[in-house]
Amino acid sequence: MNQPVPPPDPVFTDRVAIVTGASSGIGAATATALAARGAMVALFARSAGKLAEVAARSRDRMLAVTGDVGSPEDVERLFSETEARFGDCDILINCAGMIDPHPFAKTSVEAWDRMFAVNTRGAFLTARRALPAMIARRSGTIVNVASISGVIGPKKFPGFVSYCASKAAVISMTEALAAEVARYGIRVNCVSPGSVDTEMLRRAGPGLVPDMTPEEVARTILFLASPESRPMSGQNLHVYSA
């Protein structure tokens, strides 16, 4: 059954958002929700075909840019094309992520570095590129998508050491960056979902039963991206069933 389309939201109308990892899962759900509420949304991922499918949902409010979030050149092109089409970024959502389970002793240096390039370096590159314009305007919102696997305490799974470490780095980066940019009126927060019904989860853990949908996580992200969460910065919201 098709979900009803929400009316434009004054909070997001004509705000410029960039969503990485927007070709599927949480990223696609978040980008779709932002556009439905009136935002101008740049979608970024490696899959041109999947990005085009998502962008087709709102052609006048979405821009699809293909690239690798771990590449400084691709991230620069993402922001340049977004600025040319919509203007400076108001809202940055870092959803790009990967899982590649391997026993720790058999994890290659290349595989470890790739995990951090996508999950951690990507968030660093996009935030670093977004900040100068946000600082100049003294406003802006960044939401990073980590994982409950990066939180100290919850049960971990064998083979996920590099993934857990990369997501823990995102959580720590969120907290530290929020403290650094608070004086400019910029907020930086994080979401750490549990198991979400995505293609990535099905590949990584075929036996796992998802706790939630991408759309449910997207609603939490939109809350953090909106003025409704204005008093919150440097926070990591755990979104999972106990």
DSSP 125-166: HHHHHHHHHHHHHT-EEEEEE--GGGSSSS---TT-HHHHHH
Residue 197 is predicted with a pLDDT of 60
Band (59; pLDDT cuts 50, 70, 90): confident
Residue 48 is predicted with a pLDDT of 93
Mean pLDDT over 118-129 rounds to: 98
Mean pLDDT over 184-202 rounds to: 82
Residue 194 is predicted with a pLDDT of 80
Band (119; pLDDT cuts 50, 70, 90): very high
Residue 1 is predicted with a pLDDT of 40
Residue 85 is predicted with a pLDDT of 97
240 is catalytic: no
User: pLDDT tens digit string along 127-178?
Assistant: 999 999 999 999 999 999 999 888 998 888 889 999 999 999 999 999 999 9
Catalytic choice (119, 163, 170, 225): 163
Residue 136 is predicted with a pLDDT of 98
Give me the chain's average pLDDT, please: 91
Q: Is the pLDDT of residue 209 over 50?
A: yes
How far is residue 144's CA from residue 178's CA, in Å, rounded to a whole number?
A: 11
Q: Is the pLDDT of residue 204 over 60?
A: no
How far is residue 189's CA from residue 219's CA, in Å, rounded to a whole number?
A: 14
Mean pLDDT over 166-194 rounds to: 97
Band (206; pLDDT cuts 50, 70, 90): low
Relative orientation angle of helices 161-181 and 122-137, to the nearest 10 degrees: 10
Closest alpha carbon to 205 in 123, 149, 131: 149
How far is residue 85's CA from residue 55's CA, in Å, rounded to a whole number?
A: 14
Residue 9 is predicted with a pLDDT of 77
Band (195; pLDDT cuts 50, 70, 90): confident
User: pLDDT tens digit string along 86-113?
Assistant: 999 999 999 999 988 899 999 999 999 9
